[in-house]
Structure 1
Amino acid sequence: MADARTYVLIYVVLLVLGTGKFVFFTFDDIFTYSMAMGGTIILAVAKSLLIAGYYQHLIEEPRAVTYMMSIAVFMVFLLTVAAGYSIQ
């Protein structure tokens, strides 16, 4: 199990990543809407990996559990893309 210093560091990184999403949409002259959405998605994936890895203790699980969770997340992504495609 990680110590308190690791959790504080992960929390600070999550705050910085959350601020990054704000920055993307605040500075319209630097970032286009497509760039802001792409950056937001990348930051959201990074944040979810940090949360799942450290706060839900998946870092300490065997690799088989990690692979199973990765496949499940990929399947949810495929379902989301398919649902978005069918709505258009």
Structure 2
Amino acid sequence: MADVRTYTLIYVVLLALGTGKFVFFTFDDIFTYQMAMAGTIILAVAKSLLIAGYYQHLLEEPRAITYMMGIAVFMVFLLTIAAGYSIQ
């Protein structure tokens, strides 16, 4: 199990990533809308991996559980894409 220092460091990184998403859309003279969206998606994936790895303790679990969680997330992604097409 990770110690308090590790959790504090992860929290600071998550705070910085959240601030980065704010910066993308605030400085619209530097970032286009497409760049801001792509950056936001990349930061969201990084935040999700940090949260799943450390706060949900997936790094300490057997690899089979990690793979099962990855497949579940992929299936949710596919369902989201399918729902988006059915709305149009």
Would you call these one fold, judging by a TM-score over 0.5?
Answer: yes
- Structure 2 portions without partners, runs of 5+: none
- The question of 1:63 aligning with 2:63 is answered yes
Counterpart in 2 of 1:17? 17
SS in 2 for 1:83: helix
Counterpart in 2 of 1:31? 31
Q: Which has the higher contact order (CA 8 A, sep 6+)?
A: 1
1:32 Cα offset (Å): 1.1
Amino acid at match of 1:33: Y
1:59 Cα offset (Å): 0.7
Moved over 4 A (4+): none
Root-mean-square deviation (CA, aligned residues, Å) is 0.7
1:13 Cα offset (Å): 0.3
| 1:16-74 Cα deviation digits (max 9, x unpaired) | 00000000000101111111111111111111110111011111000000000000000
Counterpart in 1 of 2:47? 47
Q: Give the percent of matched residue pairs that are identical in Structure 1 and Structure 2.
A: 90
How many residue pairs get matched? Answer: 88
- The question of 1:4 aligning with 2:4 is answered yes
TM-score (norm 2): 0.96
